[in-house]
């Protein structure tokens, strides 16, 4: 099998965070940016020809400023402070005769992955899809059913474990198939996990060790469901290429093929991370109606130890991730913690980051050995207006 070794380069402080907006972000079809291929070529060139370092100048990672932080650590603190987090979702329904906040525990994080990183992730997904189509991945890693009606035929790539959505031809029930092996988590996905744990999106007590990639074409969907309890909580899903809505509710209705209705709709901006736990994961069902444009989502989950594949071995790399320790600046300067709190408040009004869409390429980019740097009721039809929308 062709080996992919796509690495993230050093993050830079992005200035393209968009201003707040009361209206939901409009969904646009991904367009091929004229500069995309040039950007990839430049990144590949930079990786193969690193800039020379002056003999008298220490690498950025080792230079320490007057606050005791290296340049890389300082940039990470800045980027971390720019992350926006929306928590405290509320929607009450009657469940078993009791009034319950069915979306308790949901969190939406934006600003975790910048536009350049999103392009590299999408490029990695498409390269693995090509390997799967050529039969160069393990048997059940890649799946692409034939499209026989709207909403049917979404392509998927599974890493870390093989998961059955329904009883398979061998009689295995829904859940993790313990005697089946799929490909391990790619480097780029392990780097994503490190980022999310380090930046306080996921707790260090629940580090994902598996994921499933959903590759949507126009009209593809995910029907109403609750994620299987072979996976512990919390888990999360990261969105790419285009914005779409995800629906929540204790009861979601199928209106027509690929069309669903439910009481809560949450827009998922490009690059956003939606964390599911509590009632939002276990009481409310969720679904994604037929998408209007191409989309990719990567759902990261930790397997229940008693359900993991028989030959599974923990990745030592993922066992030692520690959350970022917040820097406390001198008196008079806002702390990183204060900046994070302010951004959480802004999420009610801010328009989340929506970086440029990426396109696929057949070329493996950035083959260096650098680690992921430390910085660095709704209806999908327009007829039903009774939904509750979170912005």
User: To 5 degrees, how large is the angle CA 308–CA 313–CA 314?
Assistant: 90
Q: What is the pLDDT of residues 184-223, one digit of tens each?
A: 999 999 999 999 999 999 999 999 999 999 999 999 999 9
pLDDT number for residue 49: 46
CB 368 within 8 A of CB 3: no
Q: Which residue has the higher pLDDT, 372 or 365?
A: 372
CB 204 within 8 A of CB 234: no
- The first and second tokens of residue 157, run together, are 């790539």
pLDDT number for residue 264: 98
Residue 300 has pLDDT above 90, yes or no: yes
Residue 11 has pLDDT above 50, yes or no: no
- The first and second tokens of residue 18, run together, are 């968009």
Q: Which residue has the higher pLDDT, 49 or 80?
A: 80
Residue 227 has pLDDT above 80, yes or no: yes
Q: Which residue has the higher pLDDT, 289 or 1?
A: 289
Q: What is the pLDDT of residues 133-191, one digit of tens each?
A: 999 999 999 999 887 677 777 899 999 999 998 888 888 899 999 999 999 999 999 99
- CB neighbourhood size of 231 (10 A): 24
pLDDT number for residue 389: 78
Average pLDDT, the chain: 79
Owner of token pair 């069309």: 259
pLDDT number for residue 318: 96
Q: Predicted confidence band at 351 (pLDDT cuts at 50, 70, 90)? A: very low
Q: What is the pLDDT of residues 96-123, one digit of tens each?
A: 999 999 999 999 999 999 999 999 999 9
Helix (H, G, I), strand (E, B) or coil at 334: coil
Q: What is the mean pLDDT of residues 314-334?
A: 80
Owner of token pair 């990719």: 296
């Amino acid at each position: 099998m062709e080996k992919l070794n796509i690495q993230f380069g050093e993050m830079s402080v992005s200035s393209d965070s968009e201003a707040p907006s009361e209206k939901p972000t409009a969904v646009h079809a991904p367009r091929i940016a004229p500069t995309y291929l040039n950007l990839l070529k430049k990144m590949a060139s930079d990786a193969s020809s690193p800039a020379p370092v002056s003999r008298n100048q220490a690498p950025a990672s080792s230079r320490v400023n007057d606050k005791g932080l290296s340049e890389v650590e300082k940039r990470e603190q800045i980027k971390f402070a720019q992350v926006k987090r929306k928590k405290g979702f509320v929607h009450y329904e009657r469940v078993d005769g009791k009034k319950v906040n069915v979306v308790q525990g949901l969190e939406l994080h934006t600003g975790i992955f910048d536009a350049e990183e999103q392009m590299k992730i999408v490029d990695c997904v498409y390269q693995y899809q090509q390997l799967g189509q050529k039969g160069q991945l393990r048997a059940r890693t890649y799946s692409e059913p034939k499209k026989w009606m709207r909403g049917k035929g979404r392509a998927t790539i599974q890493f870390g474990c093989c998961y059955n959505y329904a009883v398979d031809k061998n009689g295995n029930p829904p859940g993790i198939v313990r005697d089946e092996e799929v490909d391990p988590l790619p480097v780029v996905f392990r780097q994503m996990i490190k980022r999310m744990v380090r930046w306080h999106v996921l707790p260090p007590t629940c580090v994902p060790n598996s994921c499933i990639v959903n590759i949507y074409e126009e009209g593809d969907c995910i029907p109403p469901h609750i994620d299987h309890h072979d996976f512990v909580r919390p888990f999360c899903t990261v969105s790419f290429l285009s914005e779409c809505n995800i629906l929540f509710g204790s009861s979601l209705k199928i209106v027509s093929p690929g069309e669903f209705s439910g009481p809560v709709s949450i827009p998922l901006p490009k690059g956003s991370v939606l964390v599911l736990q509590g009632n939002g994961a276990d009481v409310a069902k969720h679904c994604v109606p037929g998408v209007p444009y191409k989309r990719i989502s990567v759902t990261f989950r930790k397997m229940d130890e008693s359900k993991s594949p028989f030959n599974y071995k923990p990745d030592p790399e993922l066992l030692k991730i520690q959350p970022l320790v917040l820097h406390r600046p001198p008196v008079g300067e806002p702390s990183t913690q204060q900046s994070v709190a302010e951004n959480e408040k802004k999420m009610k009004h801010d328009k989340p980051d929506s970086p440029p869409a990426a396109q696929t390429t057949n070329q493996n980019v950035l083959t260096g050995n650098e680690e992921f740097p430390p910085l660095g009721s709704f209806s999908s039809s327009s007829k039903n207006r009774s939904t509750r929308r979170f912005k």
